Structure 1
Amino acid sequence: MKLTYRHNPLQSQHSPLPGNAAPGLARTPAPLSPLELAQRLQTSLDLERVLEMFSESIQWAFPHDGMTYDHPALGLHSSWGRISRHSCCYNLVVEREEIGELRFLRGRKFRDEELTELENLMGVLVYPLRNSLLFRQAVDAAQTDPLTGLGNRAAMERLLPRELASLRRGQHELALLVVDVDHFKRINDTLGHSAGDRVLRATAKCLREATRESDMLFRYGGEEFVMLMRTDNPEDGLQAGERIRTVLRECPELQAAASGMQLTASIGVAQAHPLDTPATLFDRADQAMYTAKQAGRDRVVRSEE
C-alpha cells in the first residue's frame, strides 16, 4: 500500500458538503480492532457503503467532520458530513494501482499522532476498497454494450424502475424514446455485417451528440436504441425525437458508414404516467416507433395516451 499525504487548510467552515449526508459522522462508535474493522468492511461490496462504514468506524481514533472520495479516472465522487477548515488528503495506491483519493475534514488541525493512527487504519481499508471498485467495474461492464459503449438492455431494465419511482414521487417527468435505424437489414445484406457494425457505432456517437448529459442512452438490441429523458413538459420528448431524427439524417459519420445509402431513423415517443410499469411504458414507445415505420419511416410518432 502506498499513501501520498497532503494537508490543506480550507477557508469555509461547517457548510454542507454536496452529496450524501451522514449523520453518523457526529457519533463516536466503540473502538474496533483492526481485525474487527476488516471484518466489518468485508460485509459489503458497495463502494459508498464501504467508505461510509470506514468513516463511522474510525471516529473513535480519528474524529472528523466530513470525508470525500474521488476517483477521476472512473468518474467517481462521493461525500459525507460537512466542510470544515482543515483537511488532509491521501492518494491510495495498491500494488501500483491507484484506487482513489480520500480527504478528511474537521474544524481543528490534525495532530501527527492522529495522522499516524489514520494511516494504520487505512491499511485495513485499501483491500476492501479495491474489491468494491473491481465489483463496481464488473457490474458496469456487464451493463455496457461492447460495440457502441452505451448501456445495454440490462442497464435500462435496472434504471427504468428507479426513474418511474422518482416520477411517482413527483421529482420529475419522464419520457422514453425508441430509436430504430431504418432498413438496417438491407445494410447487412448489401454491405455486410462489418458495415452494419460501423452504422451502429456511428449511430451511438451521433446520439450522444444529439442528447443532453442527463439523458440516458441504451442499445436495446439489434438496431434499436432507447433514450430515457427527464422532462419539464409533455412536448420535450417529441422535440427531442425530432432533434435526434434530424441529427442522425445529417450526421456525416453515420452517412459515411454505409456508402450509397441515405440513413434515417424512425422514432417512437411515450410520456410516462404514474401507473406505468417499465413494460407498459416501453411497449407504448415501441408501438409508436412501428407506427412511424408503417407511415413511411424517417419520422417521429408520439404514443397515444
Structure 2
Amino acid sequence: MTISSSSGNSSRRKKVTPLDVKRPQEMAREPGTSFLRELRLRISSLSQTTLELEQIVQYFFDEVQSAVLVEGLTYAHPSFGVDLQYGSLEKHRASYRLNTQQQYFGEITFSRRKRFNETELARLESLLDLFIYPVRNGLQYREALRSAMTDPLTGVGNRLAMNNALDREIELARRYGRPLTVLMLDIDKFKAINDIYGHAKGDDVLCTVAEYIEQSMRSVDAVFRLGGEEFLIVLSDTSLAQAVIIGERIRQSIEVSHQGSASEPHVTASIGISEFAPNMSADDLIKRADRAMYCAKEKGRNKIECAPA
C-alpha cells in the first residue's frame, strides 16, 4: 500500500507496504494501545457486515474518531464516480492515496480545525489497512451492480435499470404532483441498415444514437435501451410541451449527424411521447409511448407523435 500524506501546511511522502502496517500483536507491546486492538477488531467486524461502499466509509469514519479526533472525512475514486463526504471539511487535513501493487483504490482525507501531530498521523496510518480491503470489495460490488444495470453495447441503462428508475419517478410524480413524460425512440429501418451495411455498422449506429440522445438530454433525465433498436427516455419533472422540445432536439441531432453516403447509412428515428397521469402504471405509460411511436412511423417516419390525453 502506497501512502502520500499531508497535514496543515506541512507535507511528507511515504511508501508503506501491507507488512509495514502495525499488526494487533505489535501494538499490544506498546503502552496504552490496548484500545487500538479492540478498535481494529471492531472496524474489521463492521466492515464485513456490508458491501455498500457508503456504509463502509461511514463505519470507518465513526470508529476512527475513538482513536483520533477527526471532524471530517472524504473518500473519492474518480474512475468509479465516487465522491463521499462525512462530517465537515476543515482547514487541517491528512490525505492518503491508497494503492496496492496491483490497483489504485482512491484517496481518503481526514480533516479538522487543529493540526494533526505525528502520533495521530501514525495512528491513522496504522488503521488504513482495515479500510483499503473492504473498500476494494465495495468498489467491486458497486461495479458489479453497475454492470448488471447497463446495456453492454451502448453503455446506457438496460431494462432492469429502466424498471427501477421508472417506478421511482412514478412514485415521486404521484407524491408531489410533478409532471413526468417518457419518450419511446425507434431507429427507422434498422433491419435494412444491418442488411446493407452489416451488423458491425448497425452496432456503431446504436452506440452513436445513444450518445446523441445523452447529449441532447438534461443531466436529470435518463435513457435506457429496451433491446434491438428501441430506447426509452425518462424525463422527470417535465411537461408534455417540454418533452416535445427535447424529443425534437434528439430527432434532429440523429438526422443531422447521419446524412448517409456509400459507406455510411442515413439514420433517422421515430419518437412517441406519453405523459404520466395519476391512474397510470409504468406499463401503461410505456405502452402509450410505444403506440405513439408506431403512429409516427405510419405517418412517414422521422417524426414525433404524442399519445392522446
TM-score, with length taken from structure 1:
0.85
Structure 2 partner of 1:50: 56
Match for residue 24 of structure 1? none
Pairing partner for 2:67 from 49, 61, 68: 61
C-alpha distance in structure 1 between counterparts of 2:177 and 2:112, whole Å: 33
Cα distance in 2 for partners of 1:258, 1:143 equals 36
Verify: 1:224 aligned to 2:234, yes or no. no
Q: CA 1:260–1:53 in structure 2 vs 1: closer, same or farther (change >3 Å)?
A: closer
Please identify, of 123-132 and 107-116, the stretch whose mean Cα deviation from structure 2 is larger. 107-116
Which residue of structure 2 lines up, in the alignment, with residue 127 of structure 1? 133
| Structure 1: distance between partners of 2:261 and 2:143 | 31
CA contact (8 A) 2:43 2:59 kept: no
User: Which one of the candidate residues 291, 295, 298 is aligned to 2:295?
Assistant: 291
Stretch of structure 1 that moved more, 75-84 or 239-248: 75-84
Shift of 1:197: 1.5
Larger radius of gyration: 2
Quick one: which of 142, 146, 149 aligns to 2:148?
142
C-alpha displacement at 1:83, in angstroms? 2.5
Structure 2 portions without partners, runs of 5+:
10-34
Alignment of 1:160-171 (within 5 A): 160-170=166-176
CA contact (8 A) 1:198 1:257 kept: no
Number of equivalenced pairs? 283
Deviations 1:137-189, CA, capped at 9 Å, x for gaps: 11112222222122222222222222223333428543211110011122223
Q: In structure 2, what is the equivalent of residue 279 of structure 1?
A: 283
Q: Residues 182 and 264 of structure 1 are in contact (CA less than 8 Å); yes or no, is this contact kept in structure 2?
A: yes
When residues 263 and 46 of structure 1 are mapped into structure 2, their CA distance, relative to the original with a 3 A threshold, is same
Structure 2 length as normaliser, TM-score? 0.84
Q: Which moved more, 1:237-246 or 1:107-116?
A: 107-116
For residue 243 of structure 1, report the CA deviation from its aligned partner: 0.9
| Partner residue, 2:3 | 3
C-alpha separation between the residues in 2 aligned to 1:171 and 1:120?
A: 52
CA, structure 1 residues 51+218, in 2 after alignment: closer, same or farther (shift >3 Å)? same
Measure how far apart 1:126 and its partner are.
0.7
CA-CA distance at 1:217 after TM superposition:
1.8
State the match for 2:247 in structure 1.
Answer: 241
Which of 240-249 and 292-301 deviates more?
Answer: 292-301
1:35 to 41, 44, 50: 41
When residues 114 and 173 of structure 1 are mapped into structure 2, their CA distance, relative to the original with a 3 A threshold, is: farther
**Higher RCO (CA-CA < 8 Å; seq separation 6+):** 1
Q: 1:65 Cα shift?
A: 1.7
Deviates more, 1:139-148 or 1:228-237: 228-237
Shift of 1:194: 2.2
Mapping 1:74-89, distance limit 5 Å: 74-89=80-95
Contact 1:199–1:258 (Cα < 8 Å) also in 2: no
2:271 alignment counterpart: 267
Q: Structure 1, unaligned stretches of length 5 or more? A: 10-29
Shift in Å, 1:256: 4.4
Give the superposition deviation at 1:202.
2.1
Residues of 1 paired with 2:267 and 2:181: CA distance? 25
Q: Which amino acid aligns with 2:3?
A: L
Partner of 2:210: 204
Distance change (3 Å), C-alpha of 1:301 and 1:37:
same
After TM superposition, give the deviation of residue 122 of structure 1 in Å: 1.4
- 1 CA distance for matches of 2:88 and 2:264? 59
- Name the CA distance, whole Å, in 2 between partners of 1:121 and 1:173: 49
Q: Percent identity?
A: 37
